[in-house]
Amino acid sequence: ELKVEQNPLFLSMQEGKNYTIYCNYSTTSDRLYWYRQDPGKSLESLFVLLSNGAVKQEGRLMASLDTKARLSTLHITAAVHDLSATYFCAVDSKPGGGADGLTFGKGTHLIIQP
Amino acid sequence: NAGVMQNPRHLVRRRGQEARLRCSPVKGHSHVYWYRQLPEEGLKFMVYLQKENIIDESGMPKERFSAEFPKEGPSILRIQQVVRGDSAAYFCASSPSGGFYGYTFGSGTRLTVV
């Protein structure tokens, strides 16, 4: 059974600081996804990482994927309050990808304080 | 493009009643997925459907839950004889052809069983 683990689960940080969220998964997967969720809202797609060594950046967020280590990171640079949200990583549930849904981590609750 | 439309946004049911949740995928998307999110948890895969076919229902409880995606009209997640433990947010996602291009999530239906 595929397991996806995120850490930390809770993170409180100050504006202007850098931090990294980690996502480990237990079996081979070709695709990894990062989503953002605001309270009471749906999931907003941030990144789709498709191959080993993939790195994507959008504003203050950068995501990377190491398929050999089964590890993805979401790095936050010079955090601002607007980035406060819950961040989920998710992995295709079947090895090799496919259209069979995602397995999600429990999410990282990020609070950025002024 | 209206995105994934779910309704109702909020649904309150008494124990023993039936709940019907609707999901209209992004226009042109033929793959629909249902997920359940309990408070402070990640999303859990329930079922994956294509038009008129259930492809994978491995995450769906064996009793009281059913899903369909008819040739015409929205996908329906049906919960019969609801219990308090069914209270959760139910999200629908769609994709055009597997997860290569990612998944688009709807805003969810928050079901409360009283």
pLDDT digits over B7-33, tens only?
A: 999 999 999 999 999 999 999 888 999
Task: Identify the pLDDT of residue B20.
Answer: 98
d(CA B112, CA B85): 9
Indicate the range of A8-17, B22-31, B99-108 predicted with least confidence.
Answer: B99-108
> What DSSP character marks residue A60?
T
Find, in chain A, the residue whose alpha carbon is nearest to that of B50. Answer: A99
Give me the torsion for CA of B56, B59, B60, B66, rounded to 10°: -30
Helix H or strand E encompassing B66: strand B65-68
CB contact under 8 A, A101 and B107: no
Cis peptide bond upstream of B96, omega within 30 = no
Distance in Å, alpha carbon of B39 to nearest chain A alpha carbon: 10
Task: Measure Cα distances from B14 to B19, B67, B89, B109 in Å.
Answer: 10, 21, 16, 16
pLDDT for A103 beyond 60: yes
Find, in chain B, the residue whose alpha carbon is nearest to that of A88. Answer: B42
Distance in Å, alpha carbon of A67 to nearest chain B alpha carbon: 16
| Nearest CB neighbour to B102, from listed A40, A45, A107 | A45
| Nearest CB neighbour to A100, from listed B35, B56, B100 | B56
Find, in chain B, the residue whose alpha carbon is nearest to that of A99. Answer: B98
**What average pLDDT does chain B have?**
92
Q: How many CB pairs under 8 A join A and B?
A: 69
pLDDT for B113 beyond 90: yes
Measured in residues, chain B has a length of 114
CB contact under 8 A, B48 and A103: no
Q: Give the pLDDT band of residue B1 (cuts 50, 70, 90).
A: low
Residue B3 touches partner A, C-beta closer than 8 Å = no
